[in-house]
Amino acid sequence: MGFLEPHVGHRRGDDEGEVTVRVLVTGAAGFIGYHVAEALLARGGEVIGVDNLNDYYDVALKEARLDALWAHTNFSFHKFNIADKEAMLPLAKTGITHIVHLAAQAGVRYSLENPYAYAESNVMGQVVMQELARATPNLAHFVYASSSSVYGGNSKIPFAVEDPVLRPISLYAATKRADELMAYTYAHLFRIPMTGLRFFTVYGPWGRPDMATYIFTKQILAGEPIKVFNHGKMKRDFTYIDDIVAGVLGALEKPPVATPGEAPCALYNLGNSQAENLMDFIAVMEKALSKKAVIDFQPLQPGDVPETFADITASTRDFGFKPVTGIEQGIPKFVEWYRGYHKA
């Protein structure tokens, strides 16, 4: 049975029986959250969106994403901070059947400037969300965003979920690893099915302005130099947003099952499973923009890693995750969106 099919569980008024899937999506005005919410709504589910619309990047972009979601009659929204337990916990009484928790303070380098934002959103926010899950009757599944950053300086390539992740090299990575550990604890204590998804360098239309795809496009079009770190000797597992959404929904449909001695808890990589040279990525971008980049080579930045590369064996095996979009197809789609959105 697909997770968007009616199922038995929650009481609505005086009736108990078939219930429409109602998914709480945090970070609904964010890049991945917006796309996941759109996909859920397109499939006929109900979505309750939560976002605090903070100014880490352009709020107008977040509001534009929300405007698109408001076109769906089965979408509702709350402007809440996920770390605010007084605001969030009453949502447990709204008939939620699933939670997709994507809200977080993002960014490796920004964690050097504002560590408190990461402690609030990524640690306290995770605790509040897990308490909300605990208070929600018959919650089918809690899926949350982790990050490839948890692998830190691991030299074994590709990164597999079984690899030790004991040496995070940024506060952002440390908070995401903390999320995974806390999720295991709640799955163990309260038998809540918990799944963490380690995302690998997601890009695409409606993307984040602090990510390389967005920054490079803007600067190349303006004729400004682009900063390329580690003198260009970087590899990233660039993953197109449609593939990520397919992975999130696939995971959501397959909650982990408790077995003797094991909590209902799982971790998966969601990446393209192909580490691309950053300079090749830039070359594809130059072709899509019909303009050469002016490159300013820089040293490796604190908290950055030279390579990411996802082993997706587990996610392919358990819910059929198979990315289909390479950078040759994905970058032109982003550029087309960028030109339309910015009238560039």
Whole-number Å distance between alpha carbons of 148 and 177: 10
Whole-number Å distance between alpha carbons of 170 and 123: 14
Geometric angle at alpha carbon 262, from 260 and 263, rounded to 5° = 120
Token readout for 137 is 């009757």
Whole-number Å distance between alpha carbons of 30 and 206: 9
Token readout for 213 is 């795809």
Whole-number Å distance between alpha carbons of 37 and 76: 11
Q: What is the rounded end-to-end Cα distance, in angstroms, of the chain?
A: 45
Token readout for 328 is 């040759």
DSSP per-residue codes, 109-125 = GGGGT-HHHHIIIIIIH
Whole-number Å distance between alpha carbons of 154 and 308: 9
Whole-number Å distance between alpha carbons of 283 and 300: 20
Whole-number Å distance between alpha carbons of 188 and 183: 9
Whole-number Å distance between alpha carbons of 218 and 213: 9
Residues belonging to the chain: 344
Separation in Å, CA 227 to CA 109, 232, 282: 14, 9, 11
Geometric angle at alpha carbon 129, from 125 and 130, rounded to 5° = 120
Token readout for 230 is 């580690």
Catalytically active residues are 172
Task: Name the amino acid, one letter, at 192.
Answer: I
